[in-house]
Structure 1
Amino acid sequence: MRLENSVFVELLKPIDRRGFQKIVDRHGGDAYDKSFRSWSHLVALIFAQLGAVVSLRALVAAFNAEANGHYHLGVGRFARSTLAEASARRPVAVFADLFALLAATLDRKTRREGAEMLRLIDSTPIPLSKFHAFARSNGRIHGLKMHVAYDRGADRPYRVEVTLANVNDVTIGKKTPIEAGATYVFDKGYYDFKWWKGIHDAGALFVTRPKTNTRLKVVAERPLDKTRGDGFTVLADSEVALASKGDSKLRMRLRRIRIERDAASRAKSPIIEVITNDMTRDAVEIAALYKVRWAIELLFRWLKQHLSIRKFLGKNENAIKLQLLAAMIAFLLLCIAAHSHGVTLPPLRFAELAGRFLFARRPVASIDEPPPKYRVPSRWKSDCQIEMIYA
């Protein structure tokens, strides 16, 4: 009879150990912590994410209590001080590069043939307390930001970077590699004419919202063949040009689309404007593209509600960045496992059960089903019946 792997072992399988070791060697990840290597560190932090562990002492106690399962993970027991020191010194790039490697793996598994190349870019605040001396304020929150680029076609985050809260979104957005033929959707935090022009020159498209003080003059009105979309109505579709009195130039054709949201979906204002360099899609399609940007907001909400990125295992910047990256890696591992094993459970339910049965030896595909009852072999059953008859 084949021995079933634990759920944790199955979740970690997509990580190529040789590829990970190359990443470690490239960044000197084991230079200062040779007794507690990068692999053990990674496994411990992923365990904390999936197991919803929110303190260093609890992590060490819970992980060491499962020592019988360590052999198959390739790790051993560790002390709290060892984990704390490693989190303070291990290069963040080790986990960041592993995230990129796993994101590429998920892309191959989930990419739909002919899917639209749609990229969503946004950031989410990571509030920290006053005890985190390194943190900075941007006027709204004191802490960090996690910047994410999301591939809607493959349904996966493919780029992540953690910065101080006072770093402008567009500064990180400019680092995103631009792919010809892709459409990039982002909000007003990525307001930069030079970057927009770079996207246009690379053969890509963008959809965003202009700031209220952006002066645009109407060059021509475009006809509206269709006005109704899912939850919104298109009011106007105009070809516009930048009407700045200064040196600001935006030498490309632009469209401004005015959208009225339905009463049920209104936020502060029922009418919003989006601008784009896409001159071929109809206005309703472009409005729908901006609405799809909500998918990345849902990702942030899911991460904050169901992974450990509200309470941190360390107070220094390096430890917190490693924990945030470990959360993103854990999310990718859950996504890969769901696709590889044909899991049909809702993502939330699957994540909860995976955390509950990390060291249980049961199939991932049927993680929500009770284990099969112990069946007595027929020969034993007969002997038992005879014994009972003559007892």
Structure 2
Amino acid sequence: MDKNTLLSSFGKWVSPINIQKLSEQVEECKQDYYTKKLTTDAYIKLLLFAQLHETESLQAMSDALLDEDLQKTLGFESISASQLSRKNNKINPAILSNLFLNLVCEIQRFHYKSGKNMPLKIIDSSTLPLNLTNYKWAKFRKTKAGVKLHLRLVFMDKDTVYPEKAVITTAKEHDRNQLEVLVDDQEAMYVFDRGYVDYERFDRMTDDGYFFVSRLKKNAVIREVETFSLPDNSTVLSDKMVYIGTTQNRAENVFRLLEVIDTKGNILRLITNRFDLSAEEISEIYRSRWAIELFFKWLKQHVEIKHFYGMSETAVQNQIYLALIAYCLNVLVQLETKSKKSLLRIVRWLKAAIWKPAYVWLRRFEEQSSP
């Protein structure tokens, strides 16, 4: 019998989670000692259900357990908001971080099968605002609080992107401080914005064999070494070899500086250490950076990270990791079914068939792909 016949659509969606690995880590962290009902496994499933439905509070999550199918999936009939709150504050974020990374590994198996060389990895951050009264530990201005999600996103193509590495800090953490943490693969091409400009790090990256393209700040001092010719039909304005920085603060390596026009007609200056690609290719690589902006927009609109379920640092981190896990589960469905449908469409179909047999949901992909 096909295993999908036995699974609900929700069961199929969460099936990539390696229960054995999860159980081993829960045991190692003594996470479920004295737990009678709300085990870590049940907690994760309930919170993923909440992410899927953008549930705004623990009380609303508790009320959702009136659904008998949800009760069967979790193994209990009810749970109070206070019990959920205690569990949310108790779960070690490292467990959810490792779960996220395990799902990333599953996605990468599909990625490597595609045979693509030099993956494009985009680095950026997004600040999630918090109420200063309730989140004093996350204060970063006199009247504001917030956390920052520093992210490395893999760009496979315009239809498929996925988060590969995440670091969660308070909002006062500068982006540049996370660059070395997020750059660790010499077989990749990194793309980031001017908030990460650091001449010393650019030198280290170049010396260590890492490739990148970044936007350069407007006030950056440059010294031209050579100007490269461009094709007559090129959309790039100029292509030069330069030194960057002042005499007191100057990069030791030579870099390539391109001037391009963005979609709004603004002139952008791009800096890179790739001299083997055409100017058009470098411009196109930087243009792919829009993918991470769309990713953050998708997270904020279609999973629940606008309203946090707890006020502790642990609770906030857990909720962000669960949002990333939900996104990865959606990508795995997209890859497994070889669907070109948007993640939003995939999620809508899932919610419509959530407790129906998985084949009902999966059959929808086959119907949509047929001529």
Q: What is the TM-score of this pair, normalised by structure 2?
A: 0.88
Change (3 A) 1:290 1:177: closer
Which residue of 361, 366, 369 maps to 2:363? 366
Cα deviations by residue, 1:29-81 (Å, 9 ceiling, x for unpaired): 3358575322121111101001221111111110x223445445566643221
Question: What secondary structure, in the 3-state scheme, does the structure 1 residue paired with 2:137 have?
Answer: coil
- Does the CA-based 8 Å contact 1:9-1:73 persist in structure 2? no
Question: What secondary structure, in the 3-state scheme, does the structure 2 residue paired with 1:310 have?
Answer: coil
- Does the CA-based 8 Å contact 2:107-2:331 persist in structure 1? yes
Which residue of 334, 337, 352 maps to 2:333? 337
Gaps (5+ residues) in structure 2?
A: none
Mean Cα deviation higher: 161-170 or 21-30: 21-30
Please give the alpha-carbon distance, in whole angstroms, between the structure 2 residues aligned to 1:28 and 1:151: 34
Residue aligning to 1:152: 155
| Structure 1 residue 298 corresponds to structure 2 residue 281 | no
- Does the CA-based 8 Å contact 1:137-1:166 persist in structure 2? yes
Which residue of 25, 40, 47 maps to 1:23? 25
Residue aligning to 1:143: 146
Residue aligning to 2:253: 252
Change (3 A) 1:150 1:305: same
Give the alignment of 1:243-322 within 5 angstroms. 243-246=245-248, 248-261=249-262, 265-266=263-264, 270-322=266-318
Give the alignment of 1:6-17 within 5 angstroms. 6-17=8-19
Residue 27 of structure 1: how far off its partner (Å) = 4.2
Question: What secondary structure, in the 3-state scheme, does the structure 1 residue paired with 2:271 have?
Answer: strand
Which residue of 227, 243, 247 maps to 1:221? 227
Residue aligning to 2:122: 120
- Does the CA-based 8 Å contact 1:122-1:149 persist in structure 2? yes
Note the aligned Cα RMSD (angstroms). 2.5
Residue aligning to 2:353: 357
Give the alignment of 1:161-172 within 5 angstroms. 161-172=167-178
Which residue of 343, 347, 370 maps to 1:347? 343
Partner letter of residue 280 of structure 2?
A: V
Residue 94 of structure 1: how far off its partner (Å) = 0.9
Change (3 A) 1:294 1:104: same
Question: What secondary structure, in the 3-state scheme, does the structure 2 residue paired with 1:224 have?
Answer: coil
- Does the CA-based 8 Å contact 1:143-1:165 persist in structure 2? yes
Residue aligning to 1:41: 43
Partner letter of residue 88 of structure 2?
A: S
Mean Cα deviation higher: 156-165 or 33-42: 33-42
Residue aligning to 1:54: 56
Mean Cα deviation higher: 53-62 or 26-35: 26-35
Give the alignment of 1:186-205 within 5 angstroms. 186-205=192-211
Partner letter of residue 363 of structure 2?
A: S
- Does the CA-based 8 Å contact 2:161-2:291 persist in structure 1? no
Give the alignment of 1:70-149 within 5 angstroms. 70-72=71-73, 77-111=78-112, 112-130=114-132, 131-137=134-140, 142-149=145-152
Change (3 A) 1:244 1:335: same
Cα deviations by residue, 1:245-277 (Å, 9 ceiling, x for unpaired): 31x34222201101123xxx21xx611101011
Cα deviations by residue, 1:91-150 (Å, 9 ceiling, x for unpaired): 111111110110110111244213432110011111112332222236996311111101
Question: What secondary structure, in the 3-state scheme, does the structure 2 residue paired with 1:225 have?
Answer: coil
Please give the alpha-carbon distance, in whole angstroms, between the structure 1 residues aligned to 2:256 and 2:80: 59
- Does the CA-based 8 Å contact 2:129-2:144 persist in structure 1? yes
Partner letter of residue 107 of structure 2?
A: L
Partner letter of residue 120 of structure 1?
A: I
Question: What secondary structure, in the 3-state scheme, does the structure 2 residue paired with 1:134 have?
Answer: helix
Change (3 A) 1:104 1:346: same
Please give the alpha-carbon distance, in whole angstroms, between the structure 2 residues aligned to 1:32 and 1:90: 14
Residue aligning to 1:375: none
Cα deviations by residue, 1:305-335 (Å, 9 ceiling, x for unpaired): 1111111222222212111110110111111
* Rg larger in structure: 1
Please give the alpha-carbon distance, in whole angstroms, between the structure 2 residues aligned to 1:350 and 1:318: 30
Residue 4 of structure 1: how far off its partner (Å) = 4.1
Please give the alpha-carbon distance, in whole angstroms, between the structure 1 residues aligned to 2:363 and 2:76: 27
- Does the CA-based 8 Å contact 1:27-1:93 persist in structure 2? no
Residue 349 of structure 1: how far off its partner (Å) = 1.5
Partner letter of residue 270 of structure 1?
A: N
